[in-house]
Each structure stands twice: as C-alpha cells, then as structure tokens.
Structure 1
Amino acid sequence: MIYRKLGGLQVSALGLGCMPMAGIGAAMYGRADHRESLATLERAIELGVTFFDTAEVYGPFADEELLGQAIKGRRDRLVIATKFGFRIEDGAIRGVDSSPENVRRACEGSLKRLGIDTIDLYYQHRVDPNVPIEETIGAMSRLVEEGKVRYLGLSEAGADTIRRADATHPIAALQSEYSLWERGVEEEILPLCQDLGIGFVPYSPLGRGFLTGLISQRSDLAEGDYRLNDPRYSEENFAKNLGIVDVVEQMAVAHRVSPAQIALAWLLAQGDDIVPIPGSKRRATLEDSMAAVNVALSAADLDALDAAAPPGSTAGQRYGEMGMSMVRL
C-alpha cells in the first residue's frame, strides 16, 4: 500500500467504502454476508488500508456497528470517516436534516456504534437546503472543539457551498462521485478543491460495478439490486455504456491486470490529493481493487482512456430525479 495526504490526514491511497456491507435497505448491491464482511474488513487492515468510510444511514446504523466490531483493538492505526445528514425514523430515511441538533445527535450515535472516542473525518452526507451551511458547519466545528471530531468534510456539495463552508471552518475533504464514466466534477468542483487545499474522495470509482467488466447484461444483477433502477443501467442506456468498458478491458489485458485496477489507476493518476474509496463486501474484490496502487499507466494509456470516456459521454444520469435533486447544492 502507498499513502497520501487528505487534508491534514495521512491515509492509504485507496480507502474502503463500507456501504456494500449494509447498503441502504436490503440488497442494495446484492445481499452481504456478515462473516464475509467482517473478514473483508480484517483483510483490508492486513493489506495496509487505513481509511474506512461509512455513514449513519448505511443500514441504517448496521454498517457503523459492523465497522466498530472490526476495528476494536486496532483503532490507533486507522482513519475512520462517517457521515450524517438525514432524518431517520423507524429505520427509514425521512428527508435531509443538517440542523445543529441533528448534527450532535448523529455524532453521539456514530461514536457509540463505532466504539471510538473521536471520528477522524466527519462529513455532511447531503446539503440541507433548509439550513444555512454556516450554521451546520458551526455545529460541526463545536464537535471539533470538544474532541469528538478531528476533521470536517462535505459530500456532493456545490461550489458556492464549498466556499462558504471552508470560510466558516477548514474543510479537509469533499466526497463526490467520480470515475471514468462520471467526470462532472472536473469542470468546477475538483479545481476548486485543489485551490482551497481540500482533498477529494471519489465514491463509486468503479461506476457502481459497471467498469469492472463483470456485469455484461442487466440480468447479471440480482432481483432487488439498486442498480436496476440506476438510469445508466437502464435497458435504454446499458448497451451504449458498454463501449467504455470495452476499452478498459482491452487495456487490462495489455497490462495483465483486472479492468477494476485500470479504472482505479486512472483515478489515482488524476492527482495526489485524490483518494478513491472502492466499495467491497468480499475479500476477493477487495484484494483485486487494492492491487491498483501498483498499476502504472503511461501517458498514452491515460490519453486513450480520456478519449474513450470524455466528460458527459456516459448515457443516462447518475441518479433518478430524487437523487439528482440532492447533489451539487
């Protein structure tokens, strides 16, 4: 494993996205096995992964509990990131809530479930349009003053929100979707983060599995899988998007690595302040993804991938109407 700086944090160049282990509701990316998920977390630590990403809403709550179980007795070596930002009632999401009261409630709950005294990186999961960002960041900064949180982050925030948040309290990292088939951050968001010294954490760096080459048709997805409702996985768009995968697969053959490793290596090559968090719930996919840190792409390779997947070329939006209404605010 190699390591990078993320704001003031030193982390493994690839973190582990823990959402597939619990999802949001049942079978978000296919059902996970509890024992295998624990084994995957333990294997990640063995491989030198130090950056683990979870959220209150994953499960909800179950993902943080699982991660807390896995890191018990090994806390000092690890960087734990979690998120708040939703109102959760009776096990269901009831809208966004970044009020100061919910910021504190969520933090206390996350600390307890994770079994830790301090959250290393605390993200606002989605911007709440009903609460000024200065008010939310102010509440988060008080948690820093109390030693319950070390660094602050945002997720899927727009440029103006990022500027206002960072002016209120330094923001260490922004988490947003970024991959070969989702490059929307490159125009404004990524340059802004670099100007402000904010680290960037791409989630869904493998296009929700599409860029791995393991999903050649919609029927490869299990019944109830979230991706069956993803516009980019729709009957209309699926075949159109396979062209990107073809180029990634050809390059993988040339390098004698997996398509997933090519996609992750491309992201790592976009800047030393970029720390992708591929999700996994099985040791086999974890081990494959983490090997991407050893893949060196040439300038010609990067040009070929850029040409195959230029910004805006993916067919379909990355979320449905509701999901799109919650990003870039």
Structure 2
Amino acid sequence: MVSETFVLGGVPVRRLGYGTAQLTGPGYWGPRGTRADAVAVLRRAVERGVTLVDTADNYGPGLAEELVAEALRPYREDLVIATKGGVVRTSDSAWHVEGRPERLRAMCEASLRRLRTDRIDLYQLHRFDPGVPMAEQLGALDELRAQGKIRYVGLDSVTAGQLSEALALTSSVVSVQNRFHLLDRGSAAVLELCEAHGLGFLPWFPLGNGALTGRAAASVDTVAAAHGATRAQIALAWLLHRSPVLLPTPGTGSLAHLEENLDAAALRLDAAELSLLDSLAD
C-alpha cells in the first residue's frame, strides 16, 4: 500500500508536491514564460491537491518566491511553503555558498518579504558552507525558528555524515533535499537515515533531468505501456513506491505537464514492475 501523505515535522502533506524551479529561465535565471502562465500553474497545482510547494530564493533570483506569493496568498492552512537560502547568485552560471549567520538571517528576511508571510514553513539550508562551522549555520536557523520566522529546518545536498552531525546539533531538522531518482541512488545512505529518523526526503531532479535513455528507457516504456502511462509518470510512481519518506516535487511551467505529473500519484506498480525498475540504477 502506497501512502499518499507524510507528516513533515508535525504537518501532514501530500507526498507528491510541486517545485518552482521550472518557472524560471535557463540556469534558474530570469523568467521562463509569462507571469500569468506561472501563476496559473501554481494555482492549478494547489487545486489538484498539492500541499507542499518547494521554491528557493535563488530561483530567478527572487522571482520564484514572488510568483508563489502572487499566486497563492492568502496561503491555505494546509499548504506548506518550503524555500531555501544559503546560496548567492551573480549570474546564470555562478553559485556562491554563503553560510555566515548574519547572511543567513538576511536571506531569510528577504524570503519572508518576497513570500509576503510572517513565517516560512520549511526553510532549507541550500548548502553547508565549508568555511563556517556547521554549528554556527544551524544555530542561526535555530535562532530564526525561536523568533517564529521559520517553522522547520531542512538541509539540501548533504552526505550521510553531515546529516548525522546536524541531527546531533539540533532537533529542528525535519527534511533533506538531495539528488535521487530512478537512475541515481547515490543518496541511498541519506535516505536510510531519513527513514530511521522520520525525516522527509525531497528528491531533486526526480525525473532524472533527461537521463532516461537506452536500456533504461526501454524498461520504463515496458512498465509505462502496461499502465497507459508516460515515462515521467513511472519515474514518479517508482519514487512514491520506493520509500514512504520520499516527497517528490517535480517542476514544470506547463499546465499539461503538471496534470501528467500529478496523475502519477494514482499509479500502482506490482512487485515484478518494481523489481525491474529497481534494477536500473547505475
């Protein structure tokens, strides 16, 4: 039985969410389409039952958060808005990790303004800054939580060792966001830790970012044909079957693609199909 919901921190969310990265242009820089189209996609996602919307301050930069506010305020009580801070963008190809406590506080304040809210449900540290002690970075987020500006803390792109260290330093962490999809299980050890500690795991690039080719594509097509589904839907359904803590948030700027993605939640894969898909990892 595949669970449709997960308790993130203390809040139930639908496991299949929506990510906003594809509302911005190449390199997550500038707009991809019109504001009206982006707003329509965000609103339709929530109409379809999405309760977890994942964004970041550097998507745009700033644009994705502004679109979330324009489309979804006033925020429904059951809607969890997750954003990220800790990375500064200076061009479409430049990413600068920034974990000094004063900068993390400033980035969180800026996200609060763009999202037009008094509290961010899930504030994710986009990267650990190797030049700043982990305790100082997490301490800054704990201070923001004590001030009521964030509800829960998430971590992005961490190793199993970093996650274990973070959990020893704070009890605020409720989720991880790492690369994980049908063909990339490199974060399996992190996923196991999330399962052991009851943490949510938001897999980024849940559709593999175009990786479904060759033998893998043929195998996925075999399963897809049995369900009248697409490759993308099978990739998402596999994640939902793989672990009850996986919370995929596929992104798109297309209403049609959004509908396709969300329909994946209804697919039920049998043991033979799961075995075939499990065998595809690199």
TM interval, short-chain normalised: over 0.9
Deviation at 1:134, TM superposition (A): 1.0
Of residues 22, 39, 50 in structure 2, which corresponds to 1:20?
A: 22
Change (3 A) 1:165 1:26: closer
Deviation at 1:248, TM superposition (A): 0.9
Deviation at 1:33, TM superposition (A): 3.2
- Which residue of structure 2 lines up, in the alignment, with residue 273 of structure 1? 245
Deviation at 1:9, TM superposition (A): 2.6
- Which residue of structure 2 lines up, in the alignment, with residue 138 of structure 1? 139
User: After alignment, is 294-303 or 200-209 more displaced?
Assistant: 200-209
Q: Deviations over 1:19-57 (max 9, x none)?
A: 0101564679x9333222111101001101010000011
Change (3 A) 1:271 1:25: closer
Deviation at 1:15, TM superposition (A): 0.9
Deviation at 1:90, TM superposition (A): 8.1
Q: Is the 8 A contact 1:8 1:172 kept in 2?
A: no
- Does the alignment pair 1:243 with 2:215? yes
- The aligned runs of 1:283-294 (5 Å cut-off) are 283-294=255-266
Which amino acid letter does the alignment assign opposite residue 142 of structure 2? Answer: S
Which amino acid letter does the alignment assign opposite residue 43 of structure 2? Answer: E
- Which residue of structure 1 lines up, in the alignment, with residue 43 of structure 2? 42
Change (3 A) 1:184 1:109: same
Q: Is the 8 A contact 1:25 1:60 kept in 2?
A: no
Which amino acid letter does the alignment assign opposite residue 175 of structure 1? Answer: Q
Any stretches of 5+ residues in structure 2 without a counterpart?
A: none
- Which residue of structure 2 lines up, in the alignment, with residue 117 of structure 1? 118
Instruction: Report SS of the residue matched to 1:203.
Output: coil
Q: Is the 8 A contact 2:29 2:91 kept in 1?
A: no
Deviation at 1:87, TM superposition (A): 3.0
- The aligned runs of 1:163-174 (5 Å cut-off) are 163-170=164-171, 171-174=173-176
Change (3 A) 1:138 1:264: same
Deviation at 1:262, TM superposition (A): 0.8
Q: Deviations over 1:56-100 (max 9, x none)?
A: 110111111111111112342310000011234589846110110
- Which residue of structure 1 lines up, in the alignment, with residue 68 of structure 2? 67
Instruction: Report SS of the residue matched to 1:59.
Output: coil
Which amino acid letter does the alignment assign opposite residue 219 of structure 2? Answer: V
**Percent identity, aligned pairs only?**
40
- Which residue of structure 1 lines up, in the alignment, with residue 192 of structure 2? 191
Matched positions, count: 279
- Which residue of structure 1 lines up, in the alignment, with residue 6 of structure 2? 4
Of residues 179, 182, 185 in structure 1, which corresponds to 2:181?
A: 179
Instruction: Report SS of the residue matched to 1:76.
Output: coil
Give the RMSD, CA atoms, in angstroms.
2.1
Deviation at 1:2, TM superposition (A): 3.4
Change (3 A) 1:23 1:90: closer
* In 1: Cα distance, 2:46 partner to 2:6 partner: 16
User: After alignment, is 125-134 or 194-203 more displaced?
Assistant: 194-203
* In 2: Cα distance, 1:81 partner to 1:138 partner: 19
- Which residue of structure 2 lines up, in the alignment, with residue 83 of structure 1? 84
Deviation at 1:251, TM superposition (A): 1.1
Which amino acid letter does the alignment assign opposite residue 73 of structure 2? Answer: K
**Greater RCO structure (CA 8 Å; 6+ sep):** 1
* In 2: Cα distance, 1:81 partner to 1:285 partner: 22
* In 2: Cα distance, 1:271 partner to 1:26 partner: 29
* In 2: Cα distance, 1:88 partner to 1:179 partner: 26
Any stretches of 5+ residues in structure 1 without a counterpart?
A: 212-240, 314-329
- Which residue of structure 2 lines up, in the alignment, with residue 326 of structure 1? none
User: After alignment, is 126-135 or 68-77 more displaced?
Assistant: 68-77
Deviation at 1:196, TM superposition (A): 2.3
- Does the alignment pair 1:55 with 2:65? no
- Which residue of structure 2 lines up, in the alignment, with residue 229 of structure 1? none
Q: Is the 8 A contact 1:60 1:91 kept in 2?
A: no
Q: Is the 8 A contact 1:6 1:200 kept in 2?
A: no
- Which residue of structure 2 lines up, in the alignment, with residue 318 of structure 1? none
Which amino acid letter does the alignment assign opposite residue 243 of structure 1? Answer: R
* In 2: Cα distance, 1:278 partner to 1:90 partner: 24
